[in-house]
Amino acid sequence: MQNLTIAEARRARWASQLLGGSELTPAQVVDRAVALQGQDLPAVMRAIAIRSAPGTTIDDVKAAFERGEIVRSWPARGTLFATTPRHLANLLSLTAERIHRSTATRRAQLGLDDATLARALEIAPRAATRAEVLAAWTAAGLDPSGGRGYHLIFHHAVAGAWHWGAFRGDEQLLTETVAAAADPDPLPAIVRGLVAARGPVTENDLAWWLKLPKTAIRRALDGLTEVSVEGERAWVAGELADPGDTGVTLLPGFDEWILGYEKRDFTASSAVQKALVPGNNGVFRPAVLVDGVTVGTWQHRTRSRREATFELVEKVTAATRKRIERAVGDWPHA
């Protein structure tokens, strides 16, 4: 078994995560990763673009959504992810029953009984914006306020009825899912994909990501390579990559580099983790990495913010600070 230092494991993980880019299309990036954290749509589109072939733009990622190659739904942990139609069917075959069971109390609190759930599905227009779906429910006398509308959309997405797909302008449309049969035993391939796109990962990371029992995860680890990260067991897929010093890397908010693992101190100190989620409000800011260590946060240019900025928590050299300034100024996905 190969023994890795934390620094070696971070660099291997950086390579697994394709943070230096790749030769893949956006759809291939998402297929390889199984799913990428997608609560924030602009952020996940940037996460896909930076992992894709050189020159890939946000419009290229949007086009993959338009073609139905990438979709967005709630396949694990009750969280939105960008994934592929095939992975969505396979993940939901493993997780949907558990998710629905875990949200039964919330449905009862919202007054969403079986009859209401069925009526909401029947009434909802297909290929519509969220506002249009809520308006249709309101017009039919089904009150979507107080979180009821969100939960109805979520519930039926988990059931496989619809997903977020194509766009109208900048808004993603709730799109009817064409029923696809899940693979007979999808877990081994899913675990292999998660490891390939995030390794080294621990058994706890995988169980946390999927919210499945560790006994099932252990069975799915067959054929993967076990390594040790300073005494802790972890797994990689295939040969372990060592890209050397990975330099400065800029990540969008909610990136899998931060949110793809049970423990985040592997790459970020407690002080940096607080800076990434100021006020512990669940909104993850874009991250600045230096050789795989998260050192601060940054903000890219927008229509209302003419200059990109960054804030460092960890100390860096003057030369590294200059490299960060250049990287922030040159970010191609604003």
Question: Which pLDDT value is given to residue 334?
Answer: 82
Instruction: Give yes or no for residue 177 having a pLDDT over 70.
Output: yes
Gap between the Cα atoms of 55 and 58, Å rounded? 10
Instruction: Give yes or no for residue 295 having a pLDDT over 70.
Output: yes
Q: Residue 179's pLDDT band (boundaries 50, 70, 90)?
A: low
Q: Residue 104's pLDDT band (boundaries 50, 70, 90)?
A: very high
User: What's the whole-number mean pLDDT along residues 118-132?
Assistant: 95
pLDDT tens-digit series, residues 77-94: 999 999 999 999 999 999
DSSP designation for 201: B
DSSP designation for 128: B
User: What's the whole-number mean pLDDT along residues 191-199?
Assistant: 97
Question: Which pLDDT value is given to residue 279?
Answer: 82
Percent of the chain whose predicted confidence (pLDDT) is above 70: 99
- For the stretch 191-196, contacts whose Cβ atoms lie closer than 8 Å and that sit 24 or more positions apart, written own/partner, are 191/217, 191/220, 191/221, 191/224, 192/220, 192/223, 192/224, 192/237, 193/32, 193/33, 193/34, 193/87, 194/33, 194/34, 195/224, 195/235, 195/236, 195/237, 196/16, 196/32, 196/237, 196/238
Q: What is the 3-state secondary structure (H, E, C) of 252-308?
A: CCCCHHHHCCCCCCCCCCHHHHHHHCHHHCCCCCCEEEECCEEEEEEECCCCCCCCC
Gap between the Cα atoms of 43 and 39, Å rounded? 8
Average pLDDT over the chain reads 95
User: What's the whole-number mean pLDDT along residues 235-257?
Assistant: 93
User: What's the whole-number mean pLDDT along residues 264-276?
Assistant: 93
Token pair 């009434």 in the structure block, residue: 123
Instruction: Give yes or no for residue 251 having a pLDDT over 80.
Output: yes
Domains of the chain: which residue ranges?
A: 2-176, 248-330
Instruction: Give yes or no for residue 240 having a pLDDT over 90.
Output: no
